[in-house]
């Protein structure tokens, strides 16, 4: 297996491809773009390809050198699509690639679809493989193939391989630009090799990955370890007996994030089932994963699509939201039917209709608290069966304790409001029962979803509301029927 951390992608050219990746081999030669435009250094102004260019395009291109890519992406997202495309065309290829990698998915897709294919291919070629694969994955297949055909065969195959992996797996988010160290190198040779690889325009390494003659990962050395090692030390000896922490290529990216956070690493090596290193998942990707997971959980709780954003076409959002809104309507109908069952009770004492929503609201809030804690726990930790249901029991205890306090307060409040001691008793009893039920339901629903193989956060809030509203109305009106009449 050759080093997957080969030189960055270059646009297709007639010059022969160079090989290299390991220590002792040369860096691949950069190929010139087919249209004759040479790659410019950072901060150099790109050629104008349009007949009439707004000043804002030229300004963005000239100032890109002095702006952080993330800030530049924020600025570009505030521009119209026409100006956004124009600005990228007047940046250096490197600046444009860094800015495109920071753009939101839909914004990046819109830009690529409106750029000239040759220009888009040059920008894709300059991006890190994992970033390039993420952007290409959002394009339609036909447009993606057009861009891939404009890359060298080696680079095109590398990106196609990345695109074949599950985007939610470790391989789907890994960076293949890594620095491999042969096990028989000395630390001085390893440092010199890393320096050569950095001159070849590789990303800054966090670790050097020590491999044997068959690219099997045998150890990991931080740059600090290399710098402090005694001169002449063989890197294979330095990692001898090391227990390497790695993940297989099909590991869920959420699990990778948990492991990286647990071990406080800056990067996690990704290997196949034979132990050959394939790439690394870096901490910046993990930050994105954690953000995406949190956003997905928040959206899923209310039945919205985890991938939805303000840039999603509104008709697509309508299509995705309607099914869960229909489910919510059915749940509301069940709650309404409970109230209808006690129509006569409400008719005899209208104040019950005033107090009734308070019971359901208080229980719903209690359940939401338990639901949020449980979903967060499931997202950041593994639960065995026994520990999971102990957590539900804990939520039940919390619901009971807080329910007792709120029951006393509601008992006194309802008594004072109505002047009827029995109404206060009904109110307090209903609050206690429904808050306990809400806490248990909030802790249980995510576990039930997980047991069914579904996302624990998916529409959990909708089903929780159904239980707390329906049960709350039934308990409150049922107690009123038994005690007051």
CA gyration radius, the chain: 30
Give dist(CA 191, CA 180) in Å, integer.
11
CB distance 188 to 295 below 8 Å: no
Those residues whose C-beta lies under 8 Å from the C-beta of residue 421, and which sit 6 or more positions away, are 415
Q: Which of 198, 128, 116, 203 is nearest to 158 (CA)?
A: 128
Residue-level pLDDT, tens digit, the chain, 485 residues = 434 333 334 333 333 333 333 443 333 333 333 333 333 333 333 333 333 445 556 555 556 666 788 888 888 888 888 888 888 888 888 888 888 888 877 788 888 888 888 888 888 888 888 888 888 888 888 888 888 888 888 888 888 888 888 888 998 888 888 889 999 999 999 999 888 887 766 666 788 899 998 889 999 998 888 888 898 899 989 888 888 899 999 998 888 888 888 888 888 999 999 999 999 998 888 887 777 777 776 776 666 676 777 777 788 888 888 888 888 888 889 889 999 999 888 888 888 999 999 999 999 999 999 998 888 787 766 666 677 888 899 999 999 999 999 999 999 999 999 999 999 999 999 999 999 999 999 999 988 888 887 777 777 888 888 889 999 999 999 999 998 87
Reduce the DSSP state of residue 354 to 3 states and report it. Answer: helix
Reduce the DSSP state of residue 372 to 3 states and report it. Answer: helix
* pTM of the entire predicted model: 0.61
Number of H helices and E strands in the chain, helices first, is: 21, 6
Per DSSP bridges, beta strands 247-248 and 267-271 are parallel
């Amino acid at each position: 297996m050759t080093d997957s951390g080969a030189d960055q992608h270059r646009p297709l050219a007639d010059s022969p491809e160079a090989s290299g990746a390991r220590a002792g081999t040369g860096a691949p030669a950069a190929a010139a773009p087919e249209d004759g435009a040479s790659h410019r250094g950072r901060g150099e102004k790109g050629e104008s390809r349009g007949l009439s260019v707004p000043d804002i395009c030229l300004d963005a291109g000239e100032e890109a050198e002095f702006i952080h890519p993330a800030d530049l992406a924020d600025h570009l997202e505030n521009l119209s699509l026409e100006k956004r495309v124009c600005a990228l065309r007047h940046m250096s290829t490197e600046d444009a690639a860094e800015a495109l990698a920071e753009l939101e998915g839909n914004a990046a897709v819109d830009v690529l679809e409106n750029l000239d294919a040759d220009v888009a291919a040059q920008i894709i070629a300059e991006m890190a493989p994992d970033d390039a694969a993420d952007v290409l994955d959002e394009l339609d297949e036909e447009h993606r193939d057009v861009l891939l055909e404009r890359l060298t065969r080696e680079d095109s195959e590398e990106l196609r391989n990345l695109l074949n992996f599950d985007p939610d797996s470790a391989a789907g988010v890994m960076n293949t630009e890594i620095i491999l160290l042969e096990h028989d190198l000395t630390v001085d040779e390893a440092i010199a090799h890393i320096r050569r690889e950095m001159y070849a325009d590789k990303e800054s390494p966090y670790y050097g990955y020590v491999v044997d003659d068959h690219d099997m990962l045998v150890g990991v050395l931080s740059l600090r370890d290399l710098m402090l090692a005694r001169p002449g030390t063989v890197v294979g000896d330095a990692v001898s007996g090391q227990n390497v922490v790695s993940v297989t290529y099909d590991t869920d990216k959420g699990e990778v994030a948990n492991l990286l956070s647990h071990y406080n690493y800056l990067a996690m090596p990704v290997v196949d089932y034979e132990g050959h290193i394939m790439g690394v998942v870096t901490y910046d990707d993990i930050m994105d994963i954690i953000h995406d997971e949190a956003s997905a959980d928040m959206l899923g709780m209310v039945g919205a699509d985890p991938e939805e954003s303000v840039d999603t076409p509104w008709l697509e959002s309508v299509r995705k939201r309607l099914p869960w809104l229909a489910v919510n309507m059915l749940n509301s109908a069940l709650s309404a039917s409970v109230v209808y069952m006690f129509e006569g009770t409400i008719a005899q004492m209208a104040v019950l209709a005033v107090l009734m929503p308070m019971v359901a609201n208080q229980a719903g809030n209690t359940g939401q608290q338990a639901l949020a804690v449980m979903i967060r726990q499931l997202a950041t930790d593994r639960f065995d069966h026994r520990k999971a249901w102990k957590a539900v029991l804990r939520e039940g205890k919390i619901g009971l304790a807080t329910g007792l306090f709120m029951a006393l307060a509601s008992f006194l409040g309802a008594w004072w409001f109505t002047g009827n001691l029995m109404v206060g008793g009904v109110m307090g009893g209903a609050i206690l029962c429904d808050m306990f039920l809400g806490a248990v339901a909030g802790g249980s629903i995510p576990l039930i979803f997980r047991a069914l193989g579904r996302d624990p956060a998916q529409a959990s809030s909708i089903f929780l509301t159904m239980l707390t509203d329906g049960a709350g109305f039934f308990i409150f009106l049922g107690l009123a029927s038994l005690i007051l009449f």
